[in-house]
Amino acid sequence: MDRLEQFYKDTGMREAVKAFFIESLKEDAIDRVLTGEDTTGIHQAHGFIKAAFHKLDAQYQAKKEKNVNNPH
């Protein structure tokens, strides 16, 4: 089992990391708004984080289903 698969299987850690990334992004967004900086990339970064975790789910869910359907 590779490290990424271990990470995927540790649901608590996976959700904690995802929440940390999103919360850090929100804090950065607030700081940028308050200092008058450009925030156009925040939306894209948020989408990228969500997409990366969705891709992780899809990759290992497919692997799990493959193993269940073909246990040999």
Tokens of 27: 């804090």
Domain boundaries defined on the chain: 3-69
Which residue, among 67, 53, 69, has the nearest Cα to 11 in the 3D structure?
A: 53
Residue type, 33: V
> Confidence band (pLDDT; 50, 70, 90) for 72?
low
* Phi, psi angle pair for 71, to nearest 5°: -70, -5
pLDDT in tens, 52-67: 999 999 999 877 777 6
Q: What's the whole-number mean pLDDT along residues 15-21?
A: 98
Instruction: Give mean pLDDT, residues 14-38.
Output: 98
Task: For residues 6 and 33, give the distance between their C-alpha atoms in angstroms, rounded to a whole number.
Answer: 37
Residue 22 has pLDDT above 90, yes or no: yes
pTM greater than 0.85: no
